[in-house]
Amino acid sequence: MAEDNVVSIITNFENINPDTVFASFVIIIFAIFLSKIVTFLLTKISEMSWKYRLYLKTIIPLSKVLIYALAAYYILASVFVLSFDQLILLSGLIGAAIGFGLRNLFEDIAAGVVIVMEKTYQVGDRVQMGDYYGEVKDIGLRATRLVTPDDSLVSAPNNLVFTQSVASGNSGSSEMMATLDIYIENDADVDLAMKILREAVVTSRFVYISPTRPVVVLLNDYPFYKGLKARAYVNDLRDEFVFRSDVTRRTWNEFYKRGIKPPKAYIVNHGNTAG
Amino acid sequence: MVSLDAQDSVKKLVFGMDEQIAAIQKAISDFEAGQRVNIAILALPYAGKSELVDEIVKMHPHDVTKVTFSSIIDNKDQIPLLGDSNKIMIFDNCHYLYMRKIGGFEVIEEFLNMVLSSDERLYITTWNIHSWNYLHRVLGIGKYFPVQVNIPSLNSADMKEFLLSAYDEGEIQFVNDTDVKEEKIFQVIKRPIAKKITHGKINLYSLHINRVALKTLLFNRTPSETAESIIFKEITKISRGNPGVAKEIWNKWLEYPVIRTSSTNTLQSDIELDSTGRFVLYMILSMGYIKKGELKNILNLSCNIDDMMINRLLFELLSQDLILEYDEYYSIRPEKLYAAVKYLENIRLVW
């Protein structure tokens, strides 16, 4: 039975003529165009609705996978006229062949499918992948494109999700947590400083506060200075850096007015020690 | 405690607020029985919160002292001292007790402290709902006012009664001048262009959508529906049942003594603002009415923008017909209120 199928496949492939190649080429071009149009439309619609932007963008990679899968199926089933059994057999053969030859490429594609299905991260998320941090612009079948805060477009292979941990700052939500550290002199009025920092955060035009998204201000005591850490959610993750800058600027303006000064000592990078 | 006559007069003057008045009356009765629960009345601009508390004052003329804030109180000393012997205190427009800037919460904190510390008084307060939502998340003010009364939207029947209460019966003529059955929903319109230059026949084709006919098709408006019904349905829908907004739309559409169904075909325009412009719009929305100087005071500190920039932003909002300027006060244009709320909700400046 399987032998017949193999023979039939070989016969079908032997019968490939310019028309078949042309038809396949047209289908591939059509799939690429359709994928581009769907991506463009979904991106446009999602940008119109800030609230549901990320949910809509989730559909983009799914629709791409679907379009390309349908195109491949259509080429094999209609153009090459393969039966279902033959398709299964062919995909097995292709799988085995590429398993040896194009392992990395297909590892990336498999990872791309895993990312789409498992929603490891989504288009619009702020993620840390390997050495890169930025907003996910596109999840392709082979690579994920990130836009870094410096506006560089980074193409990171999807298989990084198998080999490295990937951190998503917002995990599908429009808002994301932003933290900022401010260091003050050891003998500064700490209560006043914490009050000012909190007010700077809650009055920012970029802040988002809800019962599950509270504003937290923490204090850490270091040998030669004190560290304040504010944790709050920015209403749109794209404003993460503007939010930090806005809060820092207004906090320091008020600190100077109220006699709170920065420490004279050299500040060591404490990482996440404030909590 | 309240006479039936008094209650009847309230029903005539304050449309669709029976439940809210009952809730406030119950809180007042409970207070007289020894249980104090302070009240916050929450509403959007133009919804009638001040009218509601005026009716409460009318119902308890000898027991109530009313204080109305009409501009931002930026100093604790400006909060009126409560030397009055009345036990029920009404504070109207309490959203004027804070400013969204560093140091802008001192007055409201003092006010809340006063509310908390005076056990012998009942506080009835009114708030702009967006300021309330903000302050509730920032300061948790809901704890100070356990009874929160939201002013409801009027339905089409109440809206009709409210809008026609100022006229005699039959004074207003409702005219149906949109025969939707015969009108096409989509029409291709041909416009000749550059005729003088080309001396030829070059036409530009555009698609025209008849919104009234489309609405009729979408909302299954029956051809037999009266002009009056169509107009009140539209006003209620556009104003979302907000009486103040509805009144403004009514005044705009009314060509006394005639009002036409074709007036309902109003164009909606998109709002396009930068992040600072959005914040200015939010500030005006959350305050209801705000003076230019107050706006400058908040924005100078919270956005670090100068007077010239503020003037530009206000000009932009005025030119997009989003706000009104009256006697140095800025407010959201009533007919644009819900478009502005929707826009700000969408970008999550309104929570």
Whether A119 and chain B come into contact, CB under 8 Å, resolves to no
Instruction: Please tell me whether residues B35 and B132 are part of one structural domain.
Output: yes
Q: At residue A9, does pLDDT exceed 60? A: yes
Taking phi first (over 0 means left), then psi (-120 to 50 degrees means alpha), and beta for anything else, what does residue B34 get?
left
Mean pLDDT of A112-127: 77
Higher pLDDT, A267 or A245: A245
Instruction: Please tell me whether residues B9 and B122 are part of one structural domain.
Output: yes
Give the tens place of pLDDT for each residue, A32-65. 889 888 888 888 787 776 667 766 776 787 788 7
Q: At residue B268, does pLDDT exceed 50? A: yes
Instruction: Mention every residue, 6+ apart, whose C-beta is less than 8 A from residue B92.
Output: B49, B50, B53, B66, B67, B68, B69, B125, B126
pLDDT band (50, 70, 90) for residue B142: very high
What range defines the domain where residue B209 resides?
A: 154-266
Q: At residue A85, does pLDDT exceed 90? A: no
- The reported pLDDT for the residue numbered B3 is 38
- Residues of chain A in contact with residue B101, where contact means CB-CB under 8 angstroms, are 199, 203
Provide ipTM, 2 decimals.
0.78
Q: Which of B105, B275, B351 sits opposite A205 (nearest CB)?
A: B275
What range defines the domain where residue A62 resides?
A: 2-118
- The reported pLDDT for the residue numbered A12 is 66
Instruction: Please tell me whether residues A95 and A164 are part of one structural domain.
Output: no
Q: In chain A, what are the helix, strand and coil shares in percent, each to the nearest 5?
A: 50, 20, 30
* Number of domains forming the structure of chain A: 3
Crossing angle for the helix pair B106-117 and B129-139, to the nearest 10 degrees: 80
Instruction: Please tell me whether residues B183 and B129 are part of one structural domain.
Output: no
Contact B104 A199 (CB under 8 A): yes
Whether A203 and chain B come into contact, CB under 8 Å, resolves to yes
Ranges A6-20, B263-277, B295-309: which has the least confidence: A6-20
Contact A175 B348 (CB under 8 A): yes
Instruction: Please tell me whether residues B140 and B35 are part of one structural domain.
Output: yes
Mean pLDDT of B344-351: 86
CATH number at residue A132: 2.30.30
Closest chain B CA to residue A210: B137
Whether B339 and chain A come into contact, CB under 8 Å, resolves to no
Instruction: Please tell me whether residues A105 and A8 are part of one structural domain.
Output: yes
CATH number at residue A218: 3.30.70.100
Higher pLDDT, A72 or B331: B331
Q: Which of B103, B279, B351 sits opposite A205 (nearest CB)?
A: B279
* Number of domains forming the structure of chain B: 3
Distance from CA of B337 to the nearest CA of A (A): 19
Q: At residue B347, does pLDDT exceed 90? A: no
Q: At residue B6, does pLDDT exceed 50? A: no
Contact B102 A200 (CB under 8 A): yes
Instruction: Please tell me whether residues B189 and B115 are part of one structural domain.
Output: no
Instruction: Please tell me whether residues A113 and A130 are part of one structural domain.
Output: no
Query: Cα–chain-centroid distance for residue B39?
Result: 20
Contact B137 A209 (CB under 8 A): yes
Contact B349 A205 (CB under 8 A): yes
Instruction: Please tell me whether residues A20 and A50 are part of one structural domain.
Output: yes
Instruction: Please tell me whether residues B74 and B122 are part of one structural domain.
Output: yes
The CB density around residue A126, as the number of other CB atoms within 10 Å, is: 22
Instruction: Please tell me whether residues A53 and A88 are part of one structural domain.
Output: yes
In 3D space, the residue among A36, A35, A27 whose CA is nearest the CA of residue A77 turns out to be A27
Whether A170 and chain B come into contact, CB under 8 Å, resolves to no
- The reported pLDDT for the residue numbered B7 is 41
CATH number at residue A60: 1.10.287
Instruction: Please tell me whether residues B144 and B158 are part of one structural domain.
Output: no
Mean pLDDT of B282-301: 88
Q: Which of B303, B349, B351 sits opposite A210 (nearest CB)?
A: B351
Q: Is residue A266 part of a domain?
A: no
Does the CA dihedral B151-B155-B157-B159 come out positive or negative?
Answer: positive
Instruction: Please tell me whether residues B92 and B178 are part of one structural domain.
Output: no
Instruction: Please tell me whether residues B139 and B163 are part of one structural domain.
Output: no
Domain finish residue from B87, B122, B150: B150
Amino acid at residue number A148: T
pLDDT band (50, 70, 90) for residue B301: low
Q: Which of B275, B302, B346 sits opposite A50 (nearest CB)?
A: B346
**CB of A73 closer than 8 Å to CB of A84:** no
Q: Is residue B351 part of a domain?
A: no
**CB of A239 closer than 8 Å to CB of A223:** no
Instruction: Please tell me whether residues B128 and B240 are part of one structural domain.
Output: no
Cα gap A187→A11, rounded to integer Å: 87
Q: Is residue A271 part of a domain?
A: no
- Chain B interface test: which of A194, A205, A251 (most B C-beta within 10 Å): A205
Cα gap B245→B162, rounded to integer Å: 12
pLDDT band (50, 70, 90) for residue A190: very high
CA distances from A175 to A20, A52, A54, A207, A260 (A): 50, 11, 10, 9, 31
- Residues of chain B in contact with residue A254, where contact means CB-CB under 8 angstroms, are 102-103
Chain B stretch 254-313, residues whose beta carbon is closer than 8 A to a beta carbon of chain A: 275-276, 278-279, 282, 301-304
Give the tens place of pLDDT for each residue, A250-262. 999 999 999 999 9
Which residues are A181's β-sheet partners? A229
Instruction: Please tell me whether residues B285 and B228 are part of one structural domain.
Output: no
Distance from CA of B88 to the nearest CA of A (A): 32
- Residues of chain B in contact with residue A239, where contact means CB-CB under 8 angstroms, are 275
Alpha-helical (H) ranges within chain B are 4-13, 18-32, 49-59, 106-117, 129-139, 156-164, 195-198, 211-218, 227-239, 243-253, 275-287, 292-302, 307-319, 337-346
- The reported pLDDT for the residue numbered B10 is 39
Instruction: Please tell me whether residues B62 and B188 are part of one structural domain.
Output: no
Which residues are A232's β-sheet partners? A178
